[in-house]
Chains A and B, each alone.
Chain A
Amino acid sequence: MKLLTFKGGIHPPEYKELTEHLPIERAVEPSTVVIPMQQHIGAPCEPIVKVGDRVLVGQKIGEAKGFVSSPVHSSVSGEVKAIDMMPAAGGGEVLSVTIISDGQNEVDPSVQPKGDIEKLSAKEIVDIIKEAGIVGMGGAAFPTHVKLSPPPEKKIDTIILNGAECEPYLTADHRLMLETPENVIYGLRALMKSVGVEKGYIGIESNKPDAIETMTKAAAEYPNIEVVGLYTKYPQGAEKQLIYACTKKEVPSGGLPMDVGVVVNNVGTAAQVAIAIKTGMPLVERITTVTGKAVASPKNLLIKIGVPVKDVIEQCGGLTQKPGKLIMGGPMMGLATHTDEVVITKGSSGVLLFDETEAKMPERGPCIRCGKCVDICPAFLQPLHISNFSNNNMMEAAEKYRALDCIECGSCSFICPAKIPLLQAIRVAKRNIIAKKRKQS
């Protein structure tokens, strides 16, 4: 199989062997869940339950406010104990609904199969996805129905499913593709119908040959679905890089995938769409890879939304040593979190625990202008210059060097021999430039 790819990128150590051969296990039934009202990019939800209410599995408890937003549902049946601010993975706090489970898992009567794809209209599929609270499950958690509602002048011709899973350590998508390939295909077909496209790709990195094989078999009877092998390189799963690899089209600077007629979704998102149509169950649980040196027995777990991370770690045999860093997501783009009180959300692709040695920040030296960051930047930027401008508060120069085109993959910081936190400085520049633009408009 010819492997497709993009220009630039890095080869971080993968550490996937910790969990890639472990079948997905259902996590222990939680006694309490804390469900944040914002688990997605966009407007937070408004709680529609009160303290003391009895809620059922799949019952909507947070109503989306605005178009770019996504409703939230209960993952257990039980009683609402509190509605208050709780720690969020990105730092700070988020309004959350705490539910004490009664252990019954009684399903809400609204959860009913939606019928066959063939019988559903495009609009019906988008509505099912929207009502099921489905968001991008690769980590960014962008509401899926928004991607599927392009303005009429944008003609979408291709859907790409992202099965690259290029982040080190993470194996949730890998296991999903191996264990329920039929859901991935079903979801892709639904997504294709929802925007009326003929061509569907499923891109998988070559370090998962078994997933490529399984998905190719599952897609065999659908000639318009093509499983493509991707060269194993980070950030192969970055949206614009994935589109380039599959279609050789460059999403214009500042534009969206729909500008080149493409919609990208994670394989996990597609499987969730299949579940929402087949069973009617909204997004109330997800597969998360719990891994890292500090975890006793790393696992791929099917976890209910709202389960505190400390319970999840407990279930993986607890800690083997003093942890140094807790990362929600993978090591390249994940968020380092200050507490294990945070919960599993719709975007939690991984829970990664580093020991103290791994958590130690490297000592930074002066830039030797080796140009490695320029060589590997998948957006073709010059990170050393943007970082320098940012550190010297020269935001206009940073903008001129196109800081806003940075996809924040972190390859530059990874490769830098002087261990300069290039991405961190570029992020500062981006925030500054965007804030200034907002002020002006």
Chain B
Amino acid sequence: MVEKLTVSSSPHVWSENSTSKIMLDVVIALLPATVGAIYFFRLNAAMLIALAVITAVLTEMAIQKIRKQPVTVSDYSAVVTGLLLALNIPASAPWWIPIVGSIFAIAIVKQLFGGLGQNFMNPALAARIMLTLSWTDQMTQWIKPGADAVSGATPLSFVKGVTAIPSKAPDLYDMIVGNIAGSMGETSAILLILGGLYLVYRGVISPKVPAIFIGTVAVITLIAGGFDASYMLYHVFGGGLMIGAIFMATDYASSPVTAKGKVFFALGCGIITSMIRLYGAYPEGVGFSILLMNVAAPLIEKYTAPKVFGEVRK
């Protein structure tokens, strides 16, 4: 045989899975919520989503060009960040909000820390928090869905500081479907859950994190509300819990890789979210809780290393 043969370390076969396939799955999982946002909030929503995604991709491209690195926008990870960010801003936001947010998410949170897989926080979430702290008015002008959108309060602002649901709060059915005021993508629980189920089915995320996160919030608010089930459901379906638990807390780079670590991580997210919602100054605590747990993730991972096969615990 005169041909040159490849010599390499085993294994010699690889799975079909790839980074871009995983990211594309996340995009697909976000589609129901995206379509829902456009349906509920109409043209402005479509424009904001497009701006966020395009800016995220262009920013990633530009930074990789400047740093003379291979351009990797085809792995869809920037699309995921842009889309997630868009779903986290209100439909009434001005056009420059998604642009500033996407640049911050990609340039600062993701690329400056080393790019894909190296970000210590979820880029979209960090951008949302940055935008909320910097332009609080623009980021909290919630509008109710519909063509002639009028401003309205989010369900969580109704239950803030009280332990019973006021009579003027929106209907629970509307909350599950998404016919309420809120960020574009966080209003429809059912569309987000649909996306989450797809990710679990495709093996992209473990159902453990969203289930424990949401479960913890449910248990704590159930107790805090004096075992009023509808008060608890308000907390579960209101605000950013669904999008946060399903799409943000499951971010690979900023959550622990160990099975046990994921449990502690999700538990921590649930406890902090509940505490902020019940006792904090803000009506919503999902974003802060995930970012705080993101920072704690390496530590959690360090102390939750699996017991190695055949290892005898001392």
Contacts and interface: CB of A to CB of B under 8 A. Distances in A.
Contacts of A423: 9-11
Given A368-B116, A382-B258, A331 B12 contact: yes
B5 A380 contact: no
A337 B6 CA distance: 8
Contacts of B94: none
Contact of A370 (B118, B252, B310): B252
A379 B309 contact: yes
A326 B7 CA distance: 8
B148 interface: no
Interface string B1-20: 10101111111111101110
A218 interface: no
Contacts of B15: 10, 12, 414-417
Given A359-B6, A380-B309, A369 B257 contact: yes
Interface in B238-292: 252-253, 256-259
Interface of B is mostly: loop
13 contacts: A91-B7, A331-B12, A334-B12, A336-B10, A336-B12, A340-B1, A359-B5, A365-B72, A371-B257, A380-B308, A413-B14, A417-B19, A419-B18
A336 B13 contact: no
B146 interface: no
Interface string A351-377: 010100011111001111111101100
| Candidate in A374, A379, A405, A424 with the most chain B CB atoms within 10 angstroms | A374
The 6 closest A-B pairs by CB, nearest first: A410-B11, A371-B257, A424-B9, A253-B310, A368-B117, A380-B306
Interface string B110-145: 000001111000000000000000000000000000
Interface in A237-293: 240, 244, 250-255
Contact of B5 (A13, A253, A324, A402): A324
Given A368-B252, A371-B252, A331 B310 contact: no
A336 B252 contact: no
B84 to A, nearest CB: 15
Contacts, number: 163
Contact of B11 (A254, A333, A401): A333
Contact of A331 (B13, B116, B309): B13
Given A326-B5, A368-B253, A405-B309, 10 more contacts: A13-B13, A91-B7, A250-B309, A324-B6, A336-B5, A336-B8, A354-B12, A369-B253, A414-B13, A423-B9
Given A250-B309, A371-B257, A427 B1 contact: no
A402 B311 contact: yes
Given A252-B310, A340-B1, A374-B257, A168 B13 contact: yes
A391 interface: no
Nearest to B253: A369
A332 B9 contact: no
Nearest to B251: A369
A326 B308 CA distance: 34
A327 interface: yes
A150 interface: no
A381 B115 CA distance: 25
A149 B308 CA distance: 28
A382 B306 contact: yes
Given A310-B1, A368-B117, A405 B19 contact: no
Contacts of B309: 240, 244, 250, 253, 378-380, 405
A418 interface: yes
Contact of B308 (A332, A367, A371, A379): A379
A323 B4 CA distance: 8
Nearest to A402: B308
A244 B75 CA distance: 39
Contacts of B117: 366-369, 418
B5 A417 contact: no
Given A331-B11, A414-B13, A337 B5 contact: yes
B164 to A, nearest CB: 41
A316 interface: no
A381 B3 CA distance: 38
A325 interface: yes
Given A252-B310, A252-B312, A368-B253, A325 B12 contact: yes
Nearest to B13: A331
Given A323-B1, A375-B259, A410 B308 contact: no
B263 to A, nearest CB: 13
B153 interface: no
B8 A361 contact: yes
B14 A414 contact: yes
A322 interface: yes
A410 B10 contact: yes
Interface in A329-344: 331-340
A384 interface: yes
B65 interface: no
A421 interface: yes
B307 interface: yes
A270 B120 CA distance: 54
Contacts of B13: 12-13, 168, 331-332, 358, 414
Contacts of A253: 308-312
Interface in B298-314: 305-312
Contacts of B312: 252-253
Contacts of A326: 1, 5
A175 B258 CA distance: 40
